[in-house]
Amino acid sequence: MSAEPTRTGEDSYEGGLRKVARVILLDTEDRILLLHGHEPDDPADDWWFTPGGGLEGGETREEAALRELAEETGITDVDLGPVLWRRRCSFPFAGRRWDQDEWYYLARTAQTATVAAGLTELERRSVAGARWWTCQELTRAHETVYPTRLAELLQRLLDEGPPARPVTLDTEIV
């Protein structure tokens, strides 16, 4: 019996540490794109998060970042930059616990219209839309945003540019 996690699409992922690529997508005005998610059966239990998701097959994290961005937003005209941050997180979602090793890539685009045409069935039941946020709006927001401290991290990125090497963020367990 294999100790490897079973994964036949995001909806049936079980066990193990899921490798995830996320995208800090900035437009020409330095706004960041976030997706609005919620528990599939409880839209009031909601939060904002960066585009991205788990690696499929033998793809690299860079390939997964671009694929997920295209599937979740329809945005394909991007310049994918370096890995900014890495974090481990664990959270309950859709009736199970998800344990993830996330890498956050910087990306830039002039394309701001979004179309979520490639969502999985679970994503269709749990993603309510997308919004471009200024850093100031994010700082003032009262909504839950993941990763936590995103406003502070974004401000540092805009002020100082990308770090010389990826920064390891605090582990988040929800």
Give me the pLDDT at residue 59, please.
94
Hey, CA dihedral for 36, 104, 71, 173, is it positive or negative? negative
Whether the predicted pLDDT of 2 surpasses 80: no
127's tokens? 């993603």
Write down the pTM of the prediction.
0.87
Whether the predicted pLDDT of 25 surpasses 90: yes
Give me the pLDDT at residue 3, please.
38
C-alpha count within 13 angstroms, C-beta hemisphere, residue 54: 21
Q: What average pLDDT does this structure show over 4-30? A: 71
More confident residue, 47 or 7: 47
Give me the pLDDT at residue 15, please.
57
Give me the pLDDT at residue 109, please.
97
Q: DSSP class of residue 11?
A: G
Q: What percent of the chain has pLDDT over 90?
A: 68
Q: Which pairs with CB-CB distance under 8 Å and at least 24 residues apart come from 137-144?
A: 138/32, 141/48, 143/46, 143/47, 143/48, 144/46, 144/47, 144/48
Q: What average pLDDT does this structure show over 30-42? A: 91
Give me the pLDDT at residue 41, please.
82
Give me the pLDDT at residue 81, please.
96
Give me the pLDDT at residue 55, please.
94
Q: Model confidence over 74-120: pLDDT tens digits?
A: 999 999 999 999 999 998 888 888 899 999 999 999 999 998 888 77
98: how many CB neighbours lie within 10 A of its CB?
18
